[in-house]
Structure 1
Amino acid sequence: MVTIKEVAERAGVSPSTVSRVISDSPRISDETKQKVRRAMEELGYHPNAIARSLVNRATNTIGIVMPRSAEDVFLNPFFPEALRGIAKCTHDEGFCVLLTTGNSDDEQIESLLSVVRGGRVDGVILMYSKLDDPILEMLTEMNIPFSMIGRPTISEDINFVDNDNVNAAYEAANYLISMGHRRIGLINGSLNLVVSIDRYEGYKRALAKNKIELDESIIMSSEFVQEGGYESMKKMLSVENPPSAVLVTDDLIAFGAIRAARDMKVKIPDEMSIISFNNIPLADFATPPLTSVDINAYSLGYKAAKLVIDDIKGKKHKPSCYIVETRIVFRDSVISKNNIS
């Protein structure tokens, strides 16, 4: 069966452009429409009538694609906060939200297809970005507006909102260096997620800029759960030369890391400093209060919703991206190396 991607390759355009030609979008020039339609005819491609009909009816509902099952996702406060931003925007714009989840890619695809082909949503928000994601590839082939939280991994015309995670991690690692730390560990998130890849890159750049050698023995990766941080910190403290500071790419992971340090009789921050990401409300109540990079999850959600709703309403003539600023919230989990006895 011929796909939109194959039509796009024949016509020399992106899959999203093909989708817009199918829906007869006024954004696309007549010349491009003719080129795409010629490619469709040559390949024998016939648009999905169900998908095409979505353009002509409105549900005032946005589908939300979560990265895992709801049971797992809501353990991390990032998602409720981002959803709060989505809910505020959709309420202001007169839209409702519909969550789709699954324990695997296949389950997520089945859930998403059900709501899209069933005509139950006008658009979709993808709440994450990961490598080789079949759901992202599928969304680019669907005739439906969508946006995503996170930098897309394919070079298509995609609405997305994100932080500058490379620079944010660079600034966080550089702060530790400015406090006199030269041996700095990293506890990262899952390496199939773009956010983890970008934060790892920022960490590496800060070390390289300050002529600090990268040491793989103090670089760990974890799922975004406390248990992952706990196990990663235990391993890090067991190396021959443990770090004096650690950059953790998620507060929930950091809570587990702090607990492991406490169990191994390592004092935070007297013997090890920790800086983390997300600045969730509980960060202020950790022991010690956790220095964390505020990524403004609420704004990430709000902007993602605004992008897709504007697309649905035809207010935009081309896909947009929006970068939400970050800032370090200084608390008590980092001290100067000179103060470590």
Structure 2
Amino acid sequence: MSTGEISISTLARDLQTTPSTVSRALNGLPGVSAKKAAAIRAYADRLGYRPAPYYGKRSNCIAMLFPDSTVEPIDEQFQRRQIYAAERYVSQIGKFLFVNFVSTSSQQLPKLLQEQRVDGVLLAQYHQRSLVEQIRGQGVPVVALDDETLRLPCDCVISNPRKGTVELLNRLFETGHRRFAMVITNRKFPTVDRRFKVFDMDLAEHGLTPPPEYIISNVGNSLADGARSARQLLSLAELPDAVIFTNDLIALGAMLEFTRAGIAIPNQISIASFDNSELCDMTLPPLTSVELHTNDVVKIGIDHLVKLIDNPPPPSTDTFTQIEVDSSLVWRQSCRDHSK
């Protein structure tokens, strides 16, 4: 028997068990004793079994998976932008997209993956390493968006905030700003952590170290949370003259609060953020923001996934590709463009 003829059903018949039990054992899922799972995996290895759901029966479908968590705050606006970008581009290249939300507490793969109905998986936002390992265990190509190969065992595409952030800080510095603050959501997310690191490193190059009270961390992801961060800054003995927010939504909440408190933007305080969403042109004044080129991240991720589908790497590979997409600055009237 050739390895190409060995299926989960074959293994189940030989071992006198069910295909679902074999599948669970091979993918490290619960419901099978450790002893039995080890025996199944050993037998599969001895026969040279390899998952091969794609040969000759491509579905022409890609899955886009988002984490579905009741604990972590969700940036729904950013999520919608990613889905829209993916749906548009996938249709342009003649493929289909399934959008699925995966419970962060579940140990099971979505049914569309268990049933091998997709050719590849695009991971959006923050997923656990164990999910990537399960997907790869199915022999399914996977690419993660806005993540890093340092964290996940798969190829990743992520925006690099350095270019846009450095341009922003240099321009603010040139116009007399010296008291810089930053309001941060959650640094466990690679995209957020990168934004803070560039901010911190570039200010250090200018010889500036913001006092601890100017760095507000673990802020929720809503207008109300942005407003609370503004009130925290307003309570300080000296107000910063520039505040950088890690996304547009919390920046908008802060702008509303500063305005209510009678603080003039940008004459008394400059405000900037990241994402360059449609909110930026709706604020008063319009919001300066670092464009992270979400559409390009999604498009490059899909192109790379298609490449992996057409030319799958060896299952045992432990070398992964990190693709970086440069950022750019969109300067608007929320930042003072002259010295006081």
TM-score, normalization by structure 1? 0.76
Is 2:263 the counterpart of 1:270? Answer: no
Task: Tell me which residue corresponds to 1:94.
Answer: 94
What is the deviation of 1:204?
0.5
Question: In structure 2, do the counterparts of structure 1 residues 59 and 277 end up closer, same or farther at CA, with 3 Å as the change threshold?
Answer: same
What is the deviation of 1:139?
3.8
Give the whole-Å Cα distance in 2 for the aligned partners of 1:316 and 1:74: 33
Task: Tell me which residue corresponds to 1:62.
Answer: 62
RMSD: 3.1
Q: Which amino acid aligns with 1:302?
A: K
By percentage of residues, which structure has more helix? 1
Task: Tell me which residue corresponds to 2:311.
Answer: 314
Task: Tell me which residue corresponds to 1:288.
Answer: 285
> Is residue 82–residue 302 contact of structure 1 (8 Å, CA) maintained in 2?
no
What is the deviation of 1:279?
0.9
Task: Tell me which residue corresponds to 1:235.
Answer: 232
* Paired residue secondary structure (2:59): coil
1:252 to 249, 254, 277: 249
Give the whole-Å Cα distance in 1 for the aligned partners of 2:135 and 2:238: 47
Task: Write the mapping of 1:1-341 to structure 2, written as runs, cut at 5 A.
Answer: 44=42, 46=44, 52-56=51-55, 57-68=57-68, 73=74, 75-76=76-77, 78-102=78-102, 104-107=103-106, 110=108, 112-129=109-126, 133-154=129-150, 158-221=154-217, 222-314=219-311, 320-336=321-337, 338-339=339-340
What is the deviation of 1:208?
0.5
- CA deviations over 1:54-90 (Å, ceiling 9, x no partner): 23332221111124469x75732x3322223212321
Give the whole-Å Cα distance in 2 for the aligned partners of 1:181 and 1:145: 47
> Is residue 69–residue 101 contact of structure 1 (8 Å, CA) maintained in 2?
no
What is the deviation of 1:323?
2.4
**Percent of aligned positions with the same letter in both sequences?**
22
Question: In structure 2, do the counterparts of structure 1 residues 138 and 257 end up closer, same or farther at CA, with 3 Å as the change threshold?
Answer: farther
Give the whole-Å Cα distance in 2 for the aligned partners of 1:235 and 1:141: 47
Tell me the matched-pair count.
294
- CA deviations over 1:130-153 (Å, ceiling 9, x no partner): 6x6543444454421111112325
What is the deviation of 1:125?
0.7
Q: Which moved more, 1:284-293 or 1:306-315?
A: 306-315
> Is residue 161–residue 195 contact of structure 2 (8 Å, CA) maintained in 1?
yes
- CA deviations over 1:176-220 (Å, ceiling 9, x no partner): 222211111101221210011111100111110011123221112
Gaps of 5+ in 1: 1-21, 23-39
Q: Which amino acid aligns with 1:182?
A: R
Gaps of 5+ in 2: 1-25, 27-37
* Paired residue secondary structure (2:290): strand
Question: In structure 2, do the counterparts of structure 1 residues 138 and 271 end up closer, same or farther at CA, with 3 Å as the change threshold?
Answer: farther
Give the whole-Å Cα distance in 2 for the aligned partners of 1:315 and 1:137: 16
> Is residue 180–residue 210 contact of structure 2 (8 Å, CA) maintained in 1?
no
What is the deviation of 1:231?
1.4
> Is residue 163–residue 327 contact of structure 2 (8 Å, CA) maintained in 1?
no
